[in-house]
Structure 1
Amino acid sequence: MTITINVKGMTCNHCKMAVTNALKELNGVKNVDVHLENGTVDVEYDEAKVTVEKMKEAIEEQGYDVS
């Protein structure tokens, strides 16, 4: 399954890496594609292993706002 999450506050490659690494640490996340220009993150994941809420929490723990 793939979801697009809106993330506010990402401005540079450091932001991109922080969000990517936080999501990839979660069991069940298969692929992460961060789009700085429009403030979105596409996440391919196994819904049997990880919830959308867990992914949002992982992003927020890095200091970004999820809408």
Structure 2
Amino acid sequence: MKLKAILLILAVALFAACSNSAKQATEPTEEAPVKPVEVVYHVEGMTCDHCEESIQKGVTALPGISLVEANHEDSTTKVIYDPSKTDEKAIAEAIAQRGYTVVPN
């Protein structure tokens, strides 16, 4: 009788251990962080500080943007973004919606 009780306890413990490891295996794992991407656009039509601010405001509204630096003096806009949240096409469209032309490289 004692042997049956011990075997039953061991069986229950083994079952519990197996089911816990199965749950852990199916739970989503934390993904590695995505490396930010830096891109510099040549933007035509910027003539002043207000133009820079307009572009910065439009691009910053997109998800995943960590930096926007528009410079009317050299007609560039530097953007650092998370590629899992936005892409270069969306950034170029945000600039174009502000009335500026993104020149392809």
TM-score (norm 1): 0.96
Aligned counterpart, 1:21: 57
**Deviation per residue, 1:23-51 (Å, 9 max, x gap):** 00000111011121110000010011101
Q: Which structure would you say has the larger Rg?
A: 2
Q: Give how far 1:5 is off.
A: 0.6
- Give structure 1 stretches of 5+ with no counterpart: none
Question: Sequence identity of aligned pairs in percent?
Answer: 33
Q: Write 1 or 2 for the structure with the bigger share of helix.
A: 2
Aligned residues: 67
Using CA pairs under 8 Å that are at least 6 residues apart, name the structure with larger relative contact order, 1 or 2.
1
Q: Give how far 1:13 is off.
A: 1.0
Q: Write 1 or 2 for the structure with the bigger share of strand.
A: 1
Aligned counterpart, 2:46: 10
The answer to whether 1:33 aligns with 2:72 is no
- Equivalent residue for 1:58, pick from 77, 81, 94: 94
- Equivalent residue for 1:44, pick from 80, 85, 97: 80
Q: Determine the C-alpha separation between the residues in 2 that align with 1:64 and 1:35.
A: 13
